[in-house]
Structure 1
Amino acid sequence: MATKSEPLTGSDLLNKVKDLNNLSAEAKAKKCGYFTVTKDGAERVSMMKFMNALLDAEGVELDSKSSNGNGRGGRSASYRISVQANGNLLIGSTYTERMDLKPGDEFEVSLGRKHIHLKQISEDDE
C-alpha cells in the first residue's frame, strides 16, 4: 500500500508524469499522489483530479473566464504553430494583436537549424 502525501501540481507534476511515461494513466495518477484510502484500506485513484491538475499545469483553461467583460473567452496563446497542409505557417491574430501588427507589415525571414526568426522591417529600414 502506498503512503498518502500531498498531490503534485504544476511543473513538478509535469516532470513526474514525463518520468513515468511507461506506466498507465492510473498508475501515474497514483504515483503523483492522486488517490485516497478508503475506510477499509483500499486505494481509490482520483483520475478526474489528476487530469484537471495536468490541464492546470499545462495552462489549459476549460472554463471561459473573460477578463475583458464582453463574454468572449477564446483560446490562450500557446506560442506554437504547425505547418498547414499547403506548406504555409499561419500566425494567429492573438500574436499579431499583441505585437500591434497591421495588414501589410513586412518581415525579413532568417532560417536557423531548428528555428525561424522574423525581423520586422520598419519604414526606416527601407
Structure 2
Amino acid sequence: MSNRRTLPELEPDVVVPCCPPLTERTLTAAEAERTAAMFKALSDPVRLRLFSAVASAPSGEACVCDISDVGVSGPTVSHHLKKLKEAGLLASERRGTWVYYRVEPSVLAGMGRLLTGAGPA
C-alpha cells in the first residue's frame, strides 16, 4: 500500500503522513522515518510559523506573498516551504507569479491521531 495520494488541483506527489496512534502499537521503521521527517520539518521555528500561517488562513490556503514576513529573506522562506512540502505537510499550486500553499485536512487529522489516538482510522 502506497503512502502517496493525489491532492485535487495541487501538485500530485504530496506525501500524507499515515501512521497509527503511538499508543496503538510500535511504529514500523518506515512509519517512524515518515513521522520523524514530519516532526523534523516542524522543529524549526520559522517552518512552524509558516505552517501555522498556512493552516490558520481563513480561506484554507495562503499565498507565499502573504506569509513571507517571518524575519528571513525570500529565498530562505522558499527553502523552508520546500522542506515542509517534502515532509508532506503542505501542498502547493502556482497561479501566475505566486504560489499558494495549503495543508491537506488529513495531515492535521493524522498528526492529531498519531499523538492522541483520537479520530477515525
The alignment's TM-score, normalised by the length of structure 1, stands at 0.25
**Which of these two proteins has the greater Rg computed from alpha carbons?**
1
- Structure with bigger helix share is 2
Q: What TM-score, normalized by structure 2, do the two folds share?
A: 0.26
